Chains A and B, each alone.
Chain A
């Protein structure tokens, strides 16, 4: 597209719409990012890395996408497509089945998004899941996750900054102000082609429209099949489109349809007063915005982090030392402003903007608010070490930003004059360090669980999750547990009275113990939904020498006939 040579550059807006954002996200998760491209699904092709030849070597995929765990671009591994929690039933969902995303709306499960496959079969958002299931029993569904969608959209917005710095978020899409930018990519058509190709390779179907106003571009993306509206042609293109293309409240659209006003063309030149009095001034505003008679600014994406330090480089940096040095100075800046606000960082993000537009993000979390630059640096150093070679500087980074994404108040005790750290501090710091190096899930703590089964009554939880959580309810009163519980109950040979008398004597580890006193049984049956197993009768016994044991008979006589005895713990 040859944009005019007139002095003030004509405003050009690109609207992006991802109609299947939610399902694309899930498909990528299941099938990989390249699920939309048949070539790369076959795992052979070096996908054409067309325009920005930023990749030195490699298999030709965009760097931002292959990326590393820290990139927000990737969906985290724990959000898997949950079709069912009922055991292994979920594994039956074929990757080819139509997919829908569901949520509870007004007490009924409804589809909120569908993929193209489902759409072709007649499903649409708003339908109740029951109806949809009745029609398509093979429908695969996943729970709606608006946060994940939003995160993904943000990531795409990040990425879209390669085309223009002015990117705004929009409902299931983006608005890009590409005024004066298109020529860098060989014109608007080439830019669109590039964008389509790249996003498709990433597994996203997009519709994009370019026009002189956000309103017209929005309409072009969603209702005109993705077109480029030449400057001055807004009205021509908009006229045949339905009124909904004006971004109006659905009630207004419906009211207008009922009087026969269905297309934008019917209201473009119509007298305004009768329209405004019947359908509200919003209609007029939206119309003017789309046509360009009313200015509409793109609301640029605001980055919410409360504490940011950033630095731009005239000469891109690439060496690891430089990256670390930058971090160190940014940390110092950040620490000062954190201190001023009495806050500390719980989660930090170090973002490196590569010359070619890719963004590397490294995130670290802490168990306790921190602000000391040294600590910050140490955490990131662990991370760098873990990432190793994976930080690919390419032609270098031209900007670095350190931001605090989660912060919390710090009590004054921290960082006292002596510079020493107290005991819990050091444990927390240790947890942070190990967690940063090996992953948070690698550090576990012991927690108690509410279950009757003694050996299941304690378990491991990640240290981060365990701290601060009050311990689970203990065993109901009056049923004491041994001081030491064996990891594996040890079989003993015991004689006892049928049906549920305590052992009279037993042989354990080749020694014979004569029971002097006993109490029981405490009868504990298996958790039938987890396991099958006999009912246990536990006895507290004391032998003639005063040793106290916790024994159980594995099974009632009525259940098993000749039950085996075990010693499961000792009291002292």
Chain B
């Protein structure tokens, strides 16, 4: 509203009397309007920071009130609880609330539920707003508030320039509906007219009968956050700082202020300050009240959930131990059941049991397996949730459910990735959408996204932003380092850039929006949307709640992670093949245990495709670790992780295993107690801590952490990234350990390892669950490489290697792999029994040692799914109408009526060999089948007798040479069975003194050598300090290349851009692991062009040269045409094709 502002209506006389500010004790003040960064792109501080600051300033209470969401309230609450634990006298009260913003012009209203029922109504209100709006928005009207608002205290928030009439109407309506519950918020906005502003508000409040209440409308915890708040505002408004204008606040006043300052600002309105405390005192609701009632339907037929659980557990135990339940197991079972009953967790176990039982059902047979800490539980094993036999392990139930910790168990179950949806649908059907929901995932700013947004706000060009972003690999959250900035050709000290980088670092970790968790399900016994608001997900018909797994953990709400795992799909398919072709019926539980053949194979690092241990790092570890028993696999899985690597545990462990180092256990000085205290913890890993819980146990036993301290440490570990609070425990742990007589070095290493676990925690139970799948997949690969290959191809995409490598590996194990064909292939890859006269192939010399372990008698037939761009329903049609087989392309076309594009795809995939057409002839035929002509076709002409009416003049197509076929195989099938591309270049390579990769095995250490191959993978692990590992493949073998950072800088374009490279460097060979350390890297990709050259190309070149020699022509131009390097000038299409078709190489981090 624009009206004439009378000058100085609220004149103050100079030299007023002393204000309340200077009195000793300011009146207590509760800040009840706090916008955190969970009001996405509005607040500029984490809830945790705000709570800490509120304590520091001595506020009476803080209410987190985010805009139309409660996504941040648990974070603040958790922080508050933590502080309360540390200091029971803490006087700060924490209030969970919300700031409601309406779409109908109603001013913002702060909502503080006074009790559990009111909280439920607030959640219903927000759910209603969320559900009617597109993802990420919430559409509320005043009517919604009137419907759901009872027992919620409402603070009406006038804007900086409010409209008195609207405000009065709102107040009137609300006070009529909820007398005694409405407040008018007053804030000092430092706009020069604060006094007039307050006078007007006070008048309005008086008229409406809604007490005035003081606030600072907080948006950040400290004035230093103003720049960041301006930045997020710009991001939200899609403006640059320069163009945002009045959208930005004029000053840095929206921070938490101490009671003294509030008292000074509201000196004329002491009641407004007192009102904050009065309101705060009326809030009885605490988030802890969201006591969780687990669904009870799975109790079915039993008197109590505990009875039901005991019944199922012992039933399961009988099944697990057909020869009688071992005493150890029986005792543990009874103990666990007692703990579960004591904590009333039985319904939770029954629910998970029910889900697993559904999946395993006779008709469905969906493979599933629990992972994570649940594997510590005998009950879980007996219920069939996990597969790690507690009779053979030392897993501790306390790691799963600790009587001393008030935290719910967390059961994660992996399902086949292709069939998880069935399980999810089951859950929705059983519990209905009102009672089941998926947890949220908080998407936070990472380096790249932060750089992008902040850069844009500063008006940096897209290119500069791109250059900065590209200096980081993947999803780093460390910010951009100055060296990298310099390397990108920019100056980090330059003022603007410096600001950008600083603000980026601050922005990293800020929540950006909510998304749906991959599979964390929350189920309730009553309405879910009265516990937490539900919102729309990006996927249609999907909803998720506003809290993520950490929030749920903190509140003690139980959830089940229904996860998807590709390897389970692969194993299920493999079991089906084995049952079908070899008559052996296997399950995860019945695979023969401890088969030495499996360990022999893994010990040779023959692990392409095997779960978890197929990466470069794992392959280098296998021959050194030489696993001999299941527990070695558990270690193998856990050891190649950031935790042990950063903690420097890998080499000591390997040395001890090899016997080159004595196994000893550090011990405290005698006066500090049991000298064997570490031996108990570390015996199974030869005195070297490798698992997360070992590190934790060291903290408790060797550093004498109290249960609460240990709990804090564990939490800090889990949220290492987010809070960086783990450093607080460093002094404590190292100090206590050295005090007790341990060497500082050992203590330091133990702590380092804990930090490493913070990145990627891998507890022993989890490693054990994964090791089971390692064993299962390795067992299949050992004995049935045909089955393994087909199952793995059908479960793609997954794992480390592309289909080309999987097929090659199978071939090297003596498997015949047959091409995709319209008459023989299904959609999936299949197994074809070999004709009796065709014996299985012989394994490659590398693998002859396992020849007797291989039981295979089938060939793998590639499925039509292997052809790029093929649609599954088209293939189904082909298979369905195939009957006795197709005798021509035309026959197939007439019977299936497929579109021409699909025929061309099949032709490109060279799938017409069985009707006597190679891909070129097939393509010619396919393009001739014009669907337009087909429409006019008379049925008569379909008769074979009239076939030659359509006769066309013969057309002589040039035959396709093998090299070109291979190029096309790679393009359309991403692999070739006809040969390895590099083999066609071998003569050329030999001339360049490049040796085949297989020959590396015979070279001595430090020999200089050149190898070459297609780039299969590039890996730059975070733990390897900028070293790049490349894997090359030629027709003989794989070559492992190490590129040190210096070489990488020199040859960066080649390393990243080329598809065929030559590497020259020194051989490094140790324990069967061979590397070449690159000092020269050459891009040979252009050589690939010669693959697709055919006779016509070569003669064409010769002729072109003649023509080019016209007299008087510019010599520069002639040189262009002559120089062999400029072959591309002539062959833009071919060269590009061959080059681009070869795999780019997969990049891993």
Contacts and interface: CB of A to CB of B under 8 A. Distances in A.
Interface of A: 82-89, 92-93, 102, 104, 109, 121-122, 129-131, 133-138, 141, 143, 189, 192-193, 196, 207, 223-228, 236-237, 239-244, 253-255, 257-263, 265-266, 270-271, 273-275, 277-279, 449-452, 472-473, 475-480, 497, 501-505, 515-525, 527-529, 535, 538-540, 542, 548, 571
Contacts of A451: 245-246
A394 B1026 CA distance: 65
Nearest to B1136: A124
A109 B466 contact: yes
Contacts of B460: 84-86
A122 B1083 contact: yes
Interface in B1084-1137: 1094, 1096-1097, 1099-1101, 1103-1104, 1107-1108, 1110-1114, 1117-1118, 1120-1121, 1129-1134, 1137
A515 B191 CA distance: 20
Given A242-B1132, A529-B241, A478 B161 contact: yes
5 contacts: A84-B490, A109-B466, A224-B1104, A236-B1107, A274-B952
A85 B1132 CA distance: 36
Contacts of A87: 494-497
A257 B924 contact: no
Interface in B894-933: 904, 908, 919-920, 923-924, 927-928, 930
* Residue of A87, A109, A277, A540 with most partner-chain B CB within 10 A: A87
B7 interface: yes
Nearest to A270: B955
Nearest to B462: A109
A137 B1049 CA distance: 10
* Residue of B10, B462, B908 with most partner-chain A CB within 10 A: B462
Given A244-B1132, A263-B1096, A542-B11, 19 more contacts: A86-B464, A86-B496, A87-B494, A129-B463, A255-B904, A255-B923, A259-B920, A260-B920, A261-B958, A262-B1097, A270-B955, A271-B954, A277-B928, A449-B245, A451-B245, A478-B192, A480-B5, A523-B253, A529-B230
A85 B1057 CA distance: 29
A37 to B, nearest CB: 13
A259 B924 contact: yes
A549 to B, nearest CB: 12
Nearest to B245: A450
A522 to B, nearest CB: 3
* Residue of B10, B466, B960 with most partner-chain A CB within 10 A: B466
Contacts of B835: none
B825 to A, nearest CB: 21
Contact of A223 (B463, B960, B1130): B1130
A399 to B, nearest CB: 33
A538 B191 CA distance: 9
A83 B488 CA distance: 12
Contacts of B165: none
Given A134-B1056, A451-B245, A225 B226 contact: no
B968 interface: yes
Given A84-B490, A86-B464, A86-B497, A523 B12 contact: no
Given A224-B1107, A535-B252, A522 B191 contact: yes
B488 A524 contact: no
A539 B195 CA distance: 13
Interface of A is mostly: mixed
A557 B460 CA distance: 35
B8 interface: yes
Given A92-B490, A135-B1052, A273-B953, A542 B1096 contact: no
Given A240-B1103, A525-B252, A224 B1108 contact: yes
Contacts of A261: 957-958
* Residue of B253, B461, B923, B1137 with most partner-chain A CB within 10 A: B461
Contacts of B1057: 122, 131, 134-135
B402 interface: no
Contacts of B5: 478, 480
Contacts of B1111: 189
A510 B485 CA distance: 54
Given A86-B496, A89-B497, A519 B11 contact: yes
A525 B190 CA distance: 11
A82 B464 CA distance: 10
A281 to B, nearest CB: 13
Contacts of A479: 191-193
A274 B928 contact: yes
B983 interface: no
A275 B1083 CA distance: 38
Contacts of B14: 501-505, 515-516, 518
* Residue of B15, B464, B1134 with most partner-chain A CB within 10 A: B464
* Residue of B252, B955, B1110 with most partner-chain A CB within 10 A: B1110
A227 B241 contact: no
B489 interface: yes
A262 B13 CA distance: 93
B729 interface: no
A279 B1104 contact: no
A86 B245 contact: no
A225 B1120 contact: yes
Contact of B11 (A102, A129, A275, A517): A517
B491 A133 contact: no
Contacts of A239: 1100, 1103
Contact of A518 (B12, B196, B924, B959): B12
A522 B190 contact: yes
B351 to A, nearest CB: 43
A2 B253 CA distance: 86
A242 B1131 CA distance: 7
Nearest to B4: A480
Given A225-B1129, A452-B250, A137 B1114 contact: no
A220 B462 CA distance: 38
B303 to A, nearest CB: 60
Nearest to A189: B1112
B137 to A, nearest CB: 23
- Give 8 nearest A-B pairs by CB, closest first: A450-B245, A522-B192, A135-B1053, A225-B1121, A240-B1100, A517-B11, A523-B190, A278-B927
Contacts of A519: 7-8, 10-12, 192-193, 195-196
B1134 A130 contact: no
Contacts of B1129: 223, 225
Interface in B1-41: 1-2, 5, 7-8, 10-16
B1052 A130 contact: no
B646 interface: no
B12 A502 contact: yes
B250 A121 contact: no
B1110 A228 contact: yes
A271 B953 contact: yes
Contacts of B625: none
Interface string B237-279: 0000110011010111100000000000000000000000000
B160 A253 contact: no
B1055 to A, nearest CB: 9
Contacts of A85: 459-461, 464
A22 B207 CA distance: 70
A537 B647 CA distance: 54
Contacts of A121: 1053
B299 interface: no
Contacts of B464: 83-86, 89
A408 to B, nearest CB: 29
Contacts of B1146: none
* Residue of A136, A225, A503 with most partner-chain B CB within 10 A: A225
Contacts of B1113: 189, 226-228
B246 A452 contact: yes
B928 A104 contact: no
* Residue of A83, A89, A236, A257 with most partner-chain B CB within 10 A: A89
A144 to B, nearest CB: 11
